[in-house]
Structure 1
Amino acid sequence: MRVTFVCNRCGGKTVTRDAWADWDQDKQEWALGAVFDYAFCHECEEETNLEEIELRPVA
């Protein structure tokens, strides 16, 4: 199942979550370490709660 996340206020798709990344010395790249509850909508420019929406399968 494929999903996307939108702002629960305005339905905007330009949303971000607060997170941290850990340096993986072996792979020489950043790896997602944790995702936190704080979410922000860049369309209504407010803190928000995210709504998960199921996407249609790709044909």
Structure 2
Amino acid sequence: MNKLETKILKAIETNKLNPEILGERKWYNYFIRVTELVWSINLYDGYLIEAYTKNTVII
């Protein structure tokens, strides 16, 4: 797990990032996209969280 993944998981656990708010938004220096999954395995509570800086996908 990299530093950004750890930061996102900690933010979710401390309620600073709510994965139930779907869509795209700015979060710190990142642009994130949260998508609800119909079927999931090994993802946090059935949500796919992608983080971007400019045009690069980080997670």
TM-score bin, normalised by smaller chain: under 0.3
- The TM-score normalised by the length of structure 1 is 0.28
- The TM-score normalised by the length of structure 2 is 0.28
Higher relative contact order (CA 8 A, sep 6+): 1
Q: Which structure dedicates a bigger proportion of its chain to helix? A: 2
